[in-house]
Amino acid sequence: MQSSSTKDLEDISNEELQAFSSFIYDAYGLRLDWYNQSSLIRRLHRVLQLNRLTNLTQLALLMSRNKDYFWRFTDLFTVQVTELFREPLALRELKTTTFPFLERLLNPKILVVGTSSGEEVISLCIMLKEAGMLSRSQIIATDLSQKALEKAKDFAVSKTKIEHAEMNYLKAGGEQSLKAYYQATSSMCYFHKELMENVEWSLFDLTQSELGLQFDLILCKNVLIYFNHQYQSKPLSRLVRHLRPGGFMALGEKESMAFYRNENYLIQTVSSEYKIYRKSLKVL
């Protein structure tokens, strides 16, 4: 096959996109049709380019010949843009509104959706440690990509990013300095392994997976923005089912529960500015 450096990528037609989406769903259960189409096409173009393919038909053929390639596809397809203590004011508000509830629990259970390379999990673990809850918390960190999970397990960040992370940490209500949580080399900062001793790692597809557990806190930040508005009610309903009565859920600052069809559960808004919600203790 010719590489994309010598032959331009072909435009993706609606027919080709629908055919590929049907193939992925039939073979692996992944609902590409739920995703925002413009974002989906950008990411598919990226997958094609990195694999030196020119169209989705070639990609589907490659995946049908090599079943393991689906996991390589999800590694390339998933968006892994994040940073330590991202949206720090929202994290400060999360600490204020949810930690008093979690502190009353013997073993708080927390779900992180869209772990990416691990920044959000490490940020959460540091916040829990400073609140004295990390050692008794059960955290399940999930992602659609196995490669992302493997990277998150061995989390490290470039020293060029640590200054900005330190500022975000303080804005989020950090109590000391990030230096207390990592060992630095000439170029990298390696965070202490014990921070993630209570973290379990799991593949999780928000369009179809069920974990069989309910949680006291769910963090699903900057994941729903990649779904079409018309389909957001479905992953939101799945998240709510995973939430215990009285439990909290935090979304990204550009997300909301506006598309959730509140038919079976009562969802209360705790912070409309920082997108923090709570499941009613009374389930209809």
* Dist. CA 254–CA 247, nearest whole Å: 21
Contact between 195 and 122 under an 8 Å Cβ cutoff? The reply is: yes
Fold entry, domain 88-279: Rossmann fold (3.40.50)
- pLDDT value at 9 more than 60: no
pTM for this entry: 0.78
Q: State residue 3's pLDDT score.
A: 39
Q: State residue 151's pLDDT score.
A: 86
Q: Which DSSP string do the residues of the chain spell out, in sequence order? A: ---TTTSPPPP--HHHHHHHHHHHHHHH---GGGB-HHHHHHHHHHHHHHTT-SSHHHHHHHHHH-TTHHHHHHHHHS-----TT-SHHHHHHHHHHHHHHHHTSSS-EEEEE--TTSHHHHHHHHHHHHTT-GGG-EEEEEES-HHHHHHHHT-EEEHHHHHHHHHHHHHTT-SS-GGGGEEE-SSEEEE-GGGGTTEEEEE--TTT---S--EEEEEE-SSGGGB-GGGTHHHHHHHHHTEEEEEEEEE-TT--STT---SSS-EEEEETTTTEEEE-SS--
Q: State residue 265's pLDDT score.
A: 61
Average pLDDT over residues 7-14: 68
Burial-class residue 220 by CB neighbours within 10 Å (0-12, 13-18, 19+). Answer: buried
Average pLDDT over residues 251-269: 79
- pLDDT value at 47 more than 90: no
| pLDDT confidence tier of residue 264, bands split at 50, 70 and 90 | low
Average pLDDT over residues 199-221: 91
Nearest-CA neighbor of 31 among 203, 205, 206, 207?
A: 207
pLDDT in tens, 248-259: 999 998 888 887
Q: State residue 169's pLDDT score.
A: 95
pLDDT in tens, 57-113: 888 888 888 877 777 777 777 666 678 999 999 999 999 999 999 999 999 999 999
* Dist. CA 115–CA 148, nearest whole Å: 7
Amino acid at 263: E
Q: State residue 7's pLDDT score.
A: 45
- pLDDT value at 5 more than 60: no
Contacts of residue 16, Cβ cutoff 8 Å, sequence gap at least 6: 55, 56, 57
* Dist. CA 79–CA 84, nearest whole Å: 16
For the chain, the domains span 14-77, 88-279
| Mean pLDDT lowest among 7-21, 113-127, 136-150, 235-249 | 7-21
Q: State residue 81's pLDDT score.
A: 63
Q: State residue 283's pLDDT score.
A: 58
Averaged pLDDT score across all residues of the chain: 86
- pLDDT value at 234 more than 90: no
